Amino acid sequence: MILRHLALNVGKSCNFVGAAAAANSSFPKCRASLLLKNQNHKTGLLVSVATRYASSTTTSTKKPEEIQALWQQADAVCFDVDCTLTTKDGLDSLATFLGKGQAVQDLTNLAMNGTMELEEALQKRLEIMAPSVQDIADWIKAHPGESRLAPGVVTLLEALRERNKEVYLISGGFRELILPVSDYLQVPRSNIYANRFIFTNSEEDTSSFYPNVKVSSFDTDEPTSRDGGKPEAIRQIRAANADKIKTVVMVGDGITDLEAIQEEGGADLFVGYGGVVVRDIIKKNADWFIMDYEELTKALP
């Protein structure tokens, strides 16, 4: 039996009734839901996203005082997660845990540097890994949220909350892997925009539902599953909070984060973060490039 549309729907208030929670209490509490959608998704042709920025020979045109003002007046600050809030890419770390690290990391770098479409890179990584529910639960137990954080993250987010600024996580990573981090940082689950796994039951052995359930794909309805998804997520945030969110800042390390400032309705300011990995295209095109979160904390009003 193939459960083509089974995914972990981990909303802000939910209880996981599947076997993962029974097997391991560290697995995010969530409820299983059937996603009635076509599992087919386009991967498209291999294209170089980086060509959008290749012709640029200058950095941001914003003046320092404008950058400072936008940061200080931000109503919402949106963070990427992998290699921005955390010191490693979650999917890469899971792949290493499963003994498939290098092959998956190579694909991650292609996507983050803009030389492979995000959808294609996601699917290829999942095909290489094919993690089971138990694999994910074991990885989460071995990598609690607080152990993954980049230096200065906790202090910065506390300072933002003290100033009544909304914090969102917009990630091309997977919600199931992110929740321990977001919960530790006290970011509401309703403020998370991330991908979701789709699980398929093994056809070879139908004697039991678990632990034969493995990741086979991802939910293509999530905006973060495709190129241009992060500015789309910001547009959704603006639409849902039109009365209180006017100025939005995006903080991230990769090409998909840079996209947030390139499209209408996206971020007003892009802060590139290089504390984990420095990508030349981000360093060149960010409005503000930092290596340490202390710089952002100190710049708050």
Distance set, CA 95 to CA 8, 131, 149, 269 (Å):
19, 8, 19, 33
| Cα–Cα dist 80/83, whole Å | 8
CA dihedral 262, 75, 219, 37 (to 10 degrees): -100
292 is catalytic: no
Say which DSSP state 294 is in: H
Closest CA to 6 of 210, 162, 247: 210
For the chain, how many helices (H) and strands (E)? 13, 10
CB contact set of 25 (below 8 Å; sequence gap of 6+): none
CB-based contacts of 64, cutoff 8 Å, min separation 6: none
Candidates 280, 279, 277, 278; CA nearest to 88 is 277
- Kind and range of the H or E element at 123? helix 118-129
SS3 call for 37 = coil
Residue 114 in contact with residue 255, Cβ under 8 Å?
A: yes
- What's CA 171's distance to the chain center, in Å? 2
Looking from the CA of 227 toward its CB, the CA atoms found within 13 Å total 22
Annotated catalytic residue, options 75, 80, 183, 268: 80
Tell me if residue 75 is catalytic: no
The catalytic residue among 82, 92, 138, 227 is: 82
Q: What are the percentages of helix, strand and coil residues in the chain, rounded to 5?
A: 40, 15, 40
Catalytic residue positions, numbered = 80, 82
